[in-house]
Chains A and B, each alone.
Chain A
Amino acid sequence: MIEEGRAARARSVRPEPDVAAGLSSSALAARAQQQRRHTSIVITGAQIVLVLLLVLGMFALNATSGNLIMPKPTDILDESIQLWSDGTMLQALAESLTVIGLGFLLSATTGILLGIVLGGFPLLGRVFDPFVNAMNSTPGAAFIPLIIVWFGLYTEAKIVVVWNAALFPILINTAAGIANSNKDLVEMARAFGARRFTLFWRVMVPDALPSILSGLRIGAAISTVGTVIAELTMAQSGLGGLLAAAGNRFQMDRYFAVVIVLMALGTALTAALRWVEHRFSRWRVSQREEA
């Protein structure tokens, strides 16, 4: 494909030499790079303008409607500095990260393992399909009362809430990735004498990796949501607990300071997993571009 393209370009260039003569390939590359840089400056600039507008809007709303409806951004900043410096925020963050981390780890390992089993043994997959779908379609929060009865109100119960919410998207993505692995590659490996075990671990599972990783990304996002919900509704702790306490006392500046940390946390988690996804499925991305 690449060779063809190059040949076609060479042919089309010949009758109009001024086009080719004007710019060397390095100059073209430099120009393209400059163009890209220009575009990213425009995007970042627009984003900064939006943030400024948002802050100004908050000030305006504060001036017209008072501190309860919208706290002053400067007060939010002061409160943030206060919370970070006295260790409150750090402690809450550590508590939340424990629940997110352990819950996600648990759901990732069990989800991938069960997904591999259900995807790899189609008969088993078909038997469990309605049950998996039923669990996946039920909001995670619906199980909180049961989990409280079974596991109590504290960290281990919260981890169960997160595990229960994040497990199924990871499981479903893994199973689908394995079940839909490339039949041509499987046949190739079989033709060269690969046995079941090899076929599975060295062809089907790697082929499903991009799908498993998107399951993990969705699972991580759900873990954050699940953690905050568990912290709000069970024993108040972590960022969710801080959020609820500030809200109940109408300390909206404090409340906003926590929300900002939650936003940053969620964004960082998703970005990290997107990076991992990109890193491990580069081949798939470039295949898609070719198609």
Chain B
Amino acid sequence: MSGKPSTVPLISLRQVGKSFKDGQVRALDNISLDVAPGEFVSLVGPSGCGKTTLLRIINGLIAPDEGTVAVLGGPPEPGPDLAMVFQSARLLPWLSVQGNLEFVLSLRGMGRSERAQRAAALLGAVGLREFAQAFPHELSGGMQQRVGLARALAVEPKVLLMDEPFAALDAMTREVLRHELWQMWSRRRIAIVFVTHDIDEAILLSQRIVLLRPRPGRVDEIVDVQLPEARWQSDPRTLPAFAEMRAHLWSRIHDMVRDGAELEELAGAFPADDSPG
């Protein structure tokens, strides 16, 4: 797979649609999207636009009702090529931090001693070496999420799928982890599909932003982020390009919310709020 030229998309979605509750709730409609190897793409949009559903489809956890999905040239399948980072860390509470990393490595069929070595090295990389034997509940939320990231990196994925990974953290921890994520990405250049509802975060981190509209989730606009590559050397939030982009995306979202208010009145018959994503 790695021998392929970078022009071939790593992830390719064509006219993907998905409904829930026996077709009553339309979660995704006609989504077409490509992600190139090494690309950092953010999916942004208000709640109810099916961001998480889309991520699950890419991961192969659920199948779309319509359209085709190709990941690494084949149908998506959960496995080591795709690693997921969730909003809550989702660590196995009965295993130590090291045990959690070794768990996913064992799913790849890696031997015991290699697993231990690998887990230790990764914990060093995310600055949690001293916490290898700690249990998840003994860590703060930020540290747990760091373990979640280390776990995802441990399997050496070709694609990292991140579902609002920093949304539940406090502002300071979030800022630190964003920086770390960006540094990791610029070193390793694995493709990242990053779901967030934070516009600033999307602009700050990604190369491309896919703006989604809610009910049903559709692609509203795909925007290339034109910011200097060395983004964290100085804060890009002070750049005029950043402010411009932010203003543009927000105006689109305000439009959506206005439309959405009308739509919601029409769709009042369905309990659409319970739909995943």
A binding-site residues for B, Cβ under 8 Å: 1-4, 184-185, 187-194, 198, 202-203, 206-207, 209, 283-284, 286-287, 290
Contacts and interface: CB of A to CB of B under 8 A. Distances in A.
Given A1-B141, A193-B79, A198 B93 contact: no
A209 B94 CA distance: 10
Contacts of B86: 184, 188
B140 interface: yes
Interface stretch (B34-42, B102-110, B212-220): B102-110
Nearest to A4: B170
Contacts of A187: 61, 90
10 contacts: A1-B141, A2-B140, A184-B88, A191-B61, A192-B80, A193-B79, A198-B107, A207-B94, A283-B135, A284-B93
A190 B84 CA distance: 10
B85 to A, nearest CB: 10
A192 B107 contact: yes
Contacts, number: 61
A198 B105 CA distance: 13
A286 B137 contact: yes
Contacts of A189: 103, 107
A187 B141 CA distance: 20
B155 interface: yes
B107 A188 contact: no
B53 interface: no
B59 A191 contact: yes
A190 B78 CA distance: 7
Interface in B61-87: 61, 77-80, 82-84, 86
B137 A290 contact: yes
Given A192-B78, A193-B78, A287-B93, 18 more contacts: A4-B170, A184-B86, A184-B90, A188-B84, A188-B90, A189-B103, A190-B61, A191-B78, A191-B82, A192-B84, A192-B155, A193-B77, A194-B107, A203-B92, A206-B94, A207-B94, A283-B135, A290-B137
Nearest to B55: A191
Contacts of B104: 192
A3 B107 CA distance: 33
A175 to B, nearest CB: 20
B91 to A, nearest CB: 8
A194 B80 CA distance: 10
Contacts of B141: 1
Q: Which of A2, A207, A283 lies at the interface centre, i.e. has the most chain B CB atoms within 10 A of its CB?
A: A283
A188 B89 CA distance: 9
Nearest to B77: A193
Given A203-B92, A209-B94, A191 B84 contact: yes
Contacts of B94: 206-207, 209, 283
B92 A206 contact: yes
Given A191-B59, A193-B79, A1 B137 contact: no
Contact of A192 (B83, B88, B93, B142): B83
A193 B93 contact: no
Given A184-B86, A191-B78, A283 B107 contact: no
Contacts of B77: 193
A284 B135 CA distance: 11
Nearest to A289: B137
Contacts of B170: 4
A206 B100 CA distance: 13
Contacts of B82: 191
Q: Which of A1, A184, A191, A203 lies at the interface centre, i.e. has the most chain B CB atoms within 10 A of its CB?
A: A191
A194 B104 CA distance: 8
Nearest to A193: B79
A229 to B, nearest CB: 37
A27 to B, nearest CB: 25
A194 B141 CA distance: 25
A261 to B, nearest CB: 37
The 5 closest A-B pairs by CB, nearest first: A193-B79, A188-B90, A191-B84, A283-B93, A192-B104
A284 B83 CA distance: 27
Nearest to A187: B61
B259 to A, nearest CB: 32
Given A283-B135, A286-B137, A185 B84 contact: no
A140 to B, nearest CB: 33
B92 A193 contact: no
A185 B107 contact: no
B252 to A, nearest CB: 31
A189 B78 CA distance: 9
Nearest to B137: A286
B140 A3 contact: yes
Contacts of B155: 192
A283 B100 CA distance: 14
Nearest to B148: A188
Nearest to A285: B137
A193 B80 contact: yes
Nearest to A192: B104
A184 B56 CA distance: 13
A200 to B, nearest CB: 14
